[in-house]
Amino acid sequence: MIRIGQILTTHGIRGEVKVLPLTDNPKRYDELEYAYLELSPEYKKVHIESVKYHQDVLLIKFKEYPDINAAAQLRNTYICITREQLMPLPPDHYYIFDLIGLNVYEKENYLGKIKDVISTGSNDVYVVENDTKEILLPALKSVIKSIDLTNKKVFVELPPGLLD
């Protein structure tokens, strides 16, 4: 399951909830007929009745939660989808959760695993960690030469002085 939002609180008396989107594209909710609520240790399928955009949050109404009393129990719950529900990405674009844990190499030299991805606005930065240090790699075509999700490998060409 992939988290795409977190329910913050209720909104109004008709069961709407305020949702913090955990996606770069909040409009993706317009395409969803259903999602899953992460109710540890299980997931509950819910049908999306309506989606409204309000400042930096979404107002979502689930058919299964008809009023404020029912919706109040959802505070801090994550909204998830399956991999099959993901929106397709353009070529050479990747979901961050697919990059985390990939092994990074410069030619045959193992540099470490991608531990995190930092979004800077201009370009992402891959945080690569090994036993001795952390390396910050800019996600630029001049640095990231290829990504092989099947074999969990990223091949890079480091700019001069990056490891100094």
Looking at residue 164, what is its pLDDT?
67
Let me know whether 78 and 127 are in one domain.
no
Task: Look up the domain containing 112 and give its range.
Answer: 96-156
At 24 the pLDDT is 78
Do 47 and 63 contact (CB within 8 A), yes or no? yes
Mean pLDDT per 10-residue segment, the chain (164 residues): 94 94 86 93 95 92 95 95 88 88 93 91 89 90 93 92 73
pLDDT of residue 88: 84
Which H/E stretch holds residue 68? helix 68-71
On whether both 100 and 137 belong to a single domain, the answer is yes
Q: Kindly state whether residue 103 falls inside one of the protein's structural domains.
A: yes
pTM of the full structure: 0.74
Give the model's pLDDT for residue 146.
Answer: 93
Residue where a domain stops, chosen among 31, 64, 85: 85
Are residues 16 and 66 both part of a single domain?
yes
d(CA 36, CA 47): 9
Chain mean position to CA 56: 17
Q: Are residues 74 and 109 in the same domain?
A: no
3-class DSSP state of 26: helix
Identify whether residues 125 and 69 lie together within a single domain.
no
CATH of the domain at 71: 2.40.30.60
| Count: domains in the chain | 2
Residues 6 and 70 placed together within one structural domain of the fold: yes
Domain end, chosen from 59, 85, 111, is at 85
Q: Please enumerate in sequence order all residues whose Cβ is within 8 A of that of 161, keeping only pairs 6 or more positions apart, or say none.
A: none
Give the Å distances, CA to CA, from 23 to 19, 57, 81, 89, 133.
Answer: 11, 12, 12, 13, 30
